Structure 1
Amino acid sequence: MLRYFEKLIDPFAVEDGTPPTGLLAFYRYFLAPVWPYVLALMAAGLAVSLAEVAIYAYVGTLVDMMSRGTPATFFAEHGWHLALMALVVLVVRPLVNAVQTVLSNQTLPPALTARIRWLNHLHVVGQSYSFFQNDFSGRIVTKIVQTGSSLTQSMTQVIDALWVISVFVISAFAIFADVGIVMAVPLVLWVAALVTLALTFVPRVRKRAAAASEARSLLTGKLADIYGNIQTVKLFARDGRERDTARSAIAEQTGRLLDQNRLLTRLSLLLQLANAFLIGATGAASVWLWTRGAISPGETAVALGLVMRLSVMSGRVMMTLTGLFDNVGTVEDGMRTIARPHGLADRPDAADLVVSKGEIVFEDVRFSYGGGTPVLRGVDLVVKPGERIGLVGRSGAGKTTMVSLLLRLYDLESGAIRIDGQDIASVTQGSLRAAIGVVTQDTALLNRSIRDNIRYGRPDADDDAVRQAAARASADGFIAHLSDPRGRKGYDAHVGERGVKLSGGQRQRIAIARVLLKDAPILVLDEATSALDSEIEAVIQEQLEGLMAGKTVIAIAHRLSTIAAMDRLVVMDEGRIVETGTHRELLERQGLYAQLWARQSGGFLGDRAAHEIAAE
C-alpha cells in the first residue's frame, strides 16, 4: 500500500524548464503540478485539527454530564454520546492522522524534493561553460541539493504547523465566542500579538537566513576546493594556509548563523510572554464568569485546556518558524544561482548539425573573455574537408580559444564559424559537440568504472568495442591490473574523483580510447599526447594516424615535433594568424615558426611522417 502512495508523483515527468527568479513564482513553479496532493495534505491537517478540537470540546461536556448525573444512570442517559466520541477517538482521529502521515512521509515531500532537484539540475547543467568557471562546483551542488529539501520542508512546515494551528485557533475562537465574548478577548489579543511579532521579525529573519545560507554554501565550496586540490596543498606544504582559509569560512558562517539566532531568541522570549498572557487572562476570565454563573465547570475546563494546547502549539510554531525562515532563506539564496537564464542557449529554430564533408570556416572571428583584452582579433581560416592542420604559437596566442569557440563553449563577439556551410550558432549544441571528438591535455574522468568512462564516447557500444578501443589506445595492459577499494577489478574498477587513482598518462590513454570509440568526423587534439612517456607516445601516435584518416583534424601542441607532419600549420600570435604553410615552407620563411622550431627538438607524429621530415 505504501508503495502505491510513493508512486503517485513521478519526479522525472518533466524533462526541461526554466525556474523563474521571483521567490513566490519560484515556489509556484514547482508546487503547481502537485497541487492536488498539497490540497489533500491540507485537508488531512484540517481533519486532524477538527478531530482534536472536538475531543477538547467533549471533555467539557463530559465534565458537565458527570457533575449533573449519577453513576447508576450515567451510561443509560449518555451512552450514545460516549459511543460517538469513542468513534472519533478510536477510528476517525487515527484514520485522518494515518492519511496525513502517509501523504507527508511517502507521497509529497520525497517526490517533490526529487522533482525540484531534477529540474534545477537540468537547468544548471544547461548553463554555459563560463557559468561553472565562475563559481565553486561544491557551492553549486550544495545549492541544488539544499534548495530542493528546503523548498519542500518550508511547504510542509506551513501545512503541518501554521495551517494546523490556524484551524485550531479559529475553532477555539468559535467555542469561546459561543461560551461568552469575554472568553474570546484574550485569544484575539494573543493572535494580534503573534501577527505583530511575525510582521516585525519575518522580514529581518528572512534576510539573515539568506545570508547564513550563502555563507554555508560558500563554506562548502571552499572546503570542496581544498579537498579537490589536496595534492597541490600537500606538495606546496600549505596545510596551515588552507587551515586559515577554512577557519575564516567557518567563522563567517557561524557569525551569520548567530546573527539569525539573535532575532529568533528575541522572538521566542516575546512569544513566551504572549503565551503567559493568554493562559492568565483566559483563566481569570473563566473563573470570573463561573462565579457569576455564566459558564459551567466543564466549559471552564475546555477553555483552559484549549489555551494550554495553544500555548504548547505556539512553541511548535516557534520551532517551525525558525526552520521556515531558514528554509525560505536557503531557497531564496539558491534561487539566485539556479534560476539564472542560460548564458548560452540554442536558438528556438536550431537544427541538428549535419556533417557531410567536414569543412570548417572561421570568418573574421573576434572574441575576448568577459569584455577584457581581445584574445582573437579577426581570425579568418578555412580547414578543408579531411585536412589536418596544426595550430602553433606561443602561450596566450589564442589556439585553445579557437577550439573552445569551435565547440561553442562561448559565443563569438563577432564573425562566424561554419561547418559544411552551417553556422554553429544556428545548430543545437548537442549535435555540434557530438560531431567533434576532443582529446585535451588536462583529462578529467568521471568517478565511475573504466568501462563507463570509455563508453562515454559512444553509450550504445558493447563491451567488445570498448575493449578494442582500449587496446588501440594501449590502455588494456594497465586496465587488467586495476582494482578499487570495493574489490572491483579491470574494466569494473572505479577511477576516483576526476580519475585521481590513475596516473596522468593512464588518464590520457582512457581519454584517447573514449575518442577512438566516438569516431566523430571532426577531431580536435589539444596537447593529446603531452602526458605520455616517449614509448607509449610512439604507440599512440600510430593509432592517432589511423584515427585521423578521413577526418578533419585540428591539433594543438607546444611540442612542435608532434604536429610538424600535419598537412598545414597555422601559426598564431596575439590573436591573429601570422603564418600558414607546411613545416618545410615555414622553416624556409624564417619567421615566427622557424624561431619556435629552433628552440625545440623531438620525434614526429607517426613513423611515416618522422621518416619524411628526417629526410630533410
Structure 2
Amino acid sequence: MSATPTHIPPSSASLSTPAALWRLKPFVRPIIWRLVGGAGSALAAAILALMIPMVLEQIVRGLGAETVNIGLIVGGAAVVLLLGLGEAAMVWLRRWFVLTPATEVEFRMRSEIYARLQTLPVAFHDRWQSGQLLSRMMQDIGLIRRWIAFGLILLVVNVLTIIIGSVLLFQWHWMLGTIFLVTGIPMWIQGFLFEKRYGALARQSQDQAGDLATSVEESVHGIRVLKAFGRGKHALSRFSRQAETLRETELSKARAVGTIWFWLDLMPQIAFGLSLITGIWLIWQGAIELPEMFAFFAMATVLRWPIESIGFLFSFMLDARTATDRVFDIFTETNSITDPENPVHIAEPRGELAFENAHFRYQDAGASERDLLDGIDLVLRPGETMALVGLTGSGKTTLTTLPARLYDVTGGRVTLDGVDVRDLPLAELRTHIAMAFEDATLFSASVRENVLLGRADLDPHSEEGERVMRQALEVAQAGFVDTLPEGTETIIGEEGLSLSGGQRQRLALARAVAAAPKVLVLDDPLSALDVDTEALVEEALRHVLAETTALIVAHRPSTVALADRVALLESGRVTAVGTHAELLKTSSHYRHVISSLEAEEAARTGTIPIITDEMLAAEAPATKAQAAEDEEVQA
C-alpha cells in the first residue's frame, strides 16, 4: 500500500467546507457508485413519502363527497400502505448500499495514515504528541466514516426533499407556499452564522480530546513513576483540568447546536401557524378547498423532519470537515527523508563509514545558536570498532542518528563505502546499518518476533530463523528467555515493561546483532547491565564485531575497551582520535572525560575508581611540547 493516496490537495484553513471535504475524493472514489446508489435509494424514499399527502387529498375528497366513495377510500389506503412499505424498503436499501463500503473507506484511511506515520521522519514524531496521532487515527477517521455513510447522504437528500416539497406546496396556493418559503430565510441566516462559530469549536474540541488522550497514555506508561513518587493526585488534578476544559468546549458546542435547533424548531412552528390562519382565510374566500388544506399540512408535516434534521446534519458536516483537516495535517506534512530520485546501490558493502564536515541542527533551533554537530570529520575503516566518548551534551547520540538517516545532516555528508547515504534507497541503507539504543524499545509481540524484527528475509519459525535468533540471544547473554512461561514464544507486554531494564537492553542488542549489518551503531546499549553480565556480553561482542564496522557511544570505561580506536567529541566537534592509550597521553580533556566516566561507574556500582600508573603519569604532561599539544587540541 502506498504511503499516501494520489493527488492529495494541500490542507488549508482557508478552504471552504465543501473544498475541504472534497479532499476525501481519493478514498471515496472506489465506492462512489455505491454512495450514488445509497443516495438514490434515500431520495426515492423521500419522494415516496412526499406522494402520500397527494393520495391523502383524494381520500379526504372521497370522504367529503355527498356519496362516500368506498372504493376510492380503500384504494387510497392501499396506495398509502404500499408507499409506506416502499419507503421502508428504500431506507433498508440505502443502508445496504453504504454501510459496508464506508467501512472500507475507514480501513483505507487508517492504513494510509499508518503507512504515512512510518515514512515520516523522526523529527515529525518529536513534535507530535502520541495522543494527537491516536485521536486522529481512531476518533477522527471513525467520524468521517459515519458522515460518509449517514451524514453526507442524508444532508444531500434532505436538502433535495425540502426543495421538491417546497415546490409542491405551491400547487395548492401560491400564498401558502410563499409563507413556508419566507419563514425559512432566518434559518439559513442562522446556519451561516452557525458554521463560523461551530467550526472553530469543533476543531478546538477535537484537539483538546487529543491532548487528553496524550495525558492518559503518559499516565499509564508512567504509572510506576507516579506511584513511586506519590504523584497520583497531581496527575489526576492535571487530567481533571484538561477534562474540564474539554467539557467547557463541548458545552459551547452544545449551546451553538442548541441555538440552531431553536431556529429550526421555531420557524416551522411559525410557518404552521401563519399557514393555518392564511388557509382558513383562503377557504373562507373560496380560494382553496378543505382537502387541499389538509394535503398542504400533510406535506408540511412530511417536510418537518428534513427541515429539523438540517441542524444536526450541518453540525455533523462541520465535525467531519474538522476531522478531515486534522487527518490531512498528517498527509500534508513534509517528508524530508525520502528515497533518492536516482538511487545508487552497493552490491557488496565493505562497511566503511565516514562523516565529512557533517553539520546538524534541529529545525526549531534559533539562527544565533551554533550547530549541534559543527563540522564532524571522522572515518571508520571496514571492520573497525570505534568508541565515541564525550561529556553530556557533546552530541554523541545525535551523531549516531545520522548514518541510518533517522535525521539528515544539515551540512556536509555521511557516506557508506564512499556513497552518500542520501543516495541509497532507505530500505537498502537500513539493511546495511543497524542500531541499538540505550532506551530499549520492544513491541507487544513474541520474543522471537522482537529479536528477528530486522530480518524480513527470514521466516522466524524456519530452521535458519531459529539459528540466527539463538546466536543473537547468545551474544546478548539473553538466556533468560528460556525461563519465560512460553520461552521465545512468550508475548512481551507493552513496550517490554514486564521485563527488567537489563533484559530489555539485551533483547534490543540481540535484535541489532540478528540483523547482521555491515555497520552496527550502538548508543550505550549496556548501561542497565550488571558488571558480570556486561563482561560476558562484551566478550561475545568482540567476536561479532570482528567483521562488522561498529560505532559505539561509550558511557563506561569498560565499553571503551571494546574499541580499536576512540573518537573524542567536544561541543559538537571531534577533537581527537586515537587508541585509548594514545589519548590518555595526548589529551587532557580525554583524561577528564574518562575520569568522569569512572566516577559515574564507581557511584553506580559502589566500587573504588581504578587509577592506573599510566593515567597518573598522563595527568601532567612531561614536556613543554606535550603541554603545547594539549593547548592546541583544546583550542
TM-score (norm 1): 0.88
Compute the displacement of 1:16 (Å): 5.0
Post-superposition CA distance 1:60-85 (Å, at most 9, x none): 222223433856x633x687766655
Q: 2:57 — aligned with what?
A: 60
The residue identity in structure 2 corresponding to 1:478 is F
Give the Cα–Cα distance (whole angstroms) in 2 for the partners of residues 341 and 55 of structure 1: 56
| Contact 2:404–2:434 (Cα < 8 Å) also in 1 | no
**Where does residue 592 of structure 1 map in the other structure?**
589
2:632 aligns with: none
CA–CA distance in structure 1, aligned partners of residues 160 and 21 of structure 2: 24
1:482 equivalent among 484, 497, 502: 484
Residue range with higher mean Cα deviation, 238-247 or 30-39: 30-39
- The aligned residue for residue 126 of structure 1 is 119
Q: Taking structure 1 as reference, are residues 600 and 277 closer, same or farther at Cα in structure 2, changes over 3 Å only?
A: closer
Please tell me the residue identity of whatever aligns with 2:500: S
1:493 corresponds in structure 2 to: 490
**CA pair 427-70 structure 1, distance change in 2 beyond 3 A:** farther
Moved more, 412-421 or 293-302: 293-302
Correspondence for 1:313: 306
Determine whether 1:270 maps to 2:263.
yes
Aligned position for 1:102: 96
Task: Please tell me whether residue 424 in structure 1 is matched to residue 421 in structure 2.
Answer: yes
Superposed displacement of residue 120, structure 1: 2.2
Q: Does 1:408 align with 2:405?
A: yes
Contact 1:364 1:379 in 2 (8 A): yes
Q: Indicate if the aligned counterparts of 1:359 and 1:384 stay in contact, CA closer than 8 A.
A: yes
Note the aligned Cα RMSD (angstroms). Answer: 2.8
Quick check: 1:47 aligned with 2:44? yes
Q: CA–CA distance in 2 between the matches of 1:580 and 1:525?
A: 18
The answer to whether structure 1 residue 190 and structure 2 residue 188 are counterparts is: no
**CA displacement at 1:598 relative to structure 2:** 4.2
Give, in whole Å, the separation in 1 of the partners of 2:147 and 2:196: 16
CA deviation digits over 1:166-199, x for unaligned, max 9?
2222232232222121121122113323221211
- Amino acid of the structure 2 residue aligned with 1:43: G
Aligned residue identity for 2:122: Y
| Contact 2:56–2:76 (Cα < 8 Å) also in 1 | no
Instruction: Tell whether the 8 Å contact from 1:368 to 1:413 is kept in structure 2 after alignment.
Output: yes
Q: Is 1:521 matched up with 2:514?
A: no
Distance 1:100 1:200, change over 3 A: same
8 Å CA contact retained: 1:150, 1:327: yes
Equivalent of 2:339, from 333, 343, 346? 346
How big is the shift at 1:404?
Answer: 0.7
Equivalent of residue 153 in structure 1, options 142, 146, 152? 146
**Aligned-residue offset at 1:442:** 0.6
Cα separation, partners in 2 of 1:407 and 1:280, compared to 1, 3 Å: same
Counterpart CA distance in 2 for 1:562 and 1:354 is 32
Match among 444, 447, 459 for residue 461 of structure 1: 459
Aligned residue pairs total 587
Structure 1 position 367, deviation (Å): 1.4
- Does 460-469 or 447-456 show the bigger shift? 460-469
Matches within 5 A, 1:17-32: 17=6, 19=8, 20-22=10-12, 23-32=20-29
Q: Distance in 2 between matches of 1:17 and 1:352?
A: 27
CA contact (8 A) 2:50 2:302 kept: no
Residue in structure 1 matching 2:372, options 375, 379, 394: 375
> How far did residue 157 of structure 1 move?
4.5
The Cα of 1:419 is off from its aligned counterpart by 0.7
C-alpha distance in 2 between matches for 1:314 and 1:111: 31
Counterpart Cα distance in 1 of 2:54 and 2:536: 87
Q: Which residue of 2 aligns with 1:299?
A: 292
In the alignment, residue 358 of structure 2 is paired with which amino acid?
A: V
SS of corresponding position for 2:383: coil
Moved more, 77-86 or 367-376: 77-86
Inter-partner Cα distance in structure 2 for 1:203 and 1:502: 52
How far off is 1:473 after superposition?
4.0
Aligned partners of 1:50, 1:308: CA distance in 2, in Å? Answer: 14
The structural deviation recorded for 1:159 is: 3.2
Partner of 1:609: none
3-state SS in 1 of match to 2:335: coil
- Distance (Å, rounded) in 2 between the aligned partners of 1:524 and 1:585: 24
SS of residue in 1 equivalent to 2:402: helix
Provide the rounded CA distance (Å) in 2 between the counterparts of 1:128 and 1:545: 33
The secondary structure found in structure 1 opposite 2:550 is: strand
| Residue among 140, 153, 156 paired with 1:163 | 156
2:63–2:73: 8 Å Cα contact kept in structure 1?
Answer: no
Alpha-carbon distance in structure 2 between the residues aligned to 1:14 and 1:78: 63
**Partner deviation per Cα, 1:90-110 (whole Å, 9 max, x = no partner):** 4x3343222201123222x21
Name the counterpart of 1:562.
Answer: 559
Among 189, 200, 204, which residue is 1:207 paired with? 200
Aligned twin of 1:610:
none
- Cα separation, 2, equivalents of 1:591 and 1:417: 29
After superposition, the C-alpha distances for 1:518-546 in whole angstroms (9 at most, x for unaligned) are: 11111111112111122222222233122
Aligned partner of residue 561 in structure 2, secondary structure: coil
| Superposition TM-score, scaled by structure 2 size | 0.85
Q: Equivalent residue for 1:579?
A: 576
Contact 1:279–1:308 (8 Å) recurs in 2: no
| Cross-structure match for 2:212 | 219
Shift of 1:380: 0.9
Distance 2:584 2:517 in 1: 32
Q: Distance in 2 between matches of 1:309 and 1:490?
A: 67
- Structural mapping, 1:71-82, within 5 Å: 74-75=70-71
Secondary structure in structure 2 of the residue aligned to 1:405: coil
Deviations 1:315-353 (A, max 9, x none): 333333333333333333443355322243333334555
Change over 3 Å in CA distance of 1:264–1:15 after alignment to 2:
closer
- Relative to structure 1, the CA distance from residue 446 to residue 576 in structure 2 (aligned partners, 3 Å threshold; closer, same or farther) is same
With 274-283 and 322-331 compared, the bigger mean Cα shift is at 322-331
In the TM superposition, what is the alpha-carbon distance from 1:14 to its structure 2 partner? 7.9
Q: State how far apart, in whole Å, the 2-side matches of 1:14 and 1:44 are.
A: 35
Which whole-Å deviations, capped at 9, do the CAs of 1:101-142 have from their partners, x for residues lacking one? 1123222x2111222222222223321101111221122111
Deviations 1:141-181 (A, max 9, x none): 11222231222333344434322222222232232222121
Q: Deviations over 1:23-69 (max 9, x none)?
A: 24533343344322322222122111111112232222222234338
1:504 corresponds, among 501, 505, 521, to 501
C-alpha separation between the residues in 2 aligned to 1:599 and 1:200?
A: 66
Gaps of 5+ in 2: 13-19, 603-611, 616-635
Matches of 1:18 and 1:222 in 2, distance apart? Answer: 35
**Match of 1:9?**
none
Q: 2-side partners of 1:232 and 1:166: how far apart?
A: 55
| Alignment correspondent of 2:244 | 251
Conserved 8 A contact 2:38-2:95: no
> 1:386, CA displacement in angstroms?
1.5
For 2:132, the aligned partner's letter is R
Give 1:306's aligned amino acid: M
Q: Secondary structure at the match of 2:376?
A: strand
Shift of 1:414: 0.9
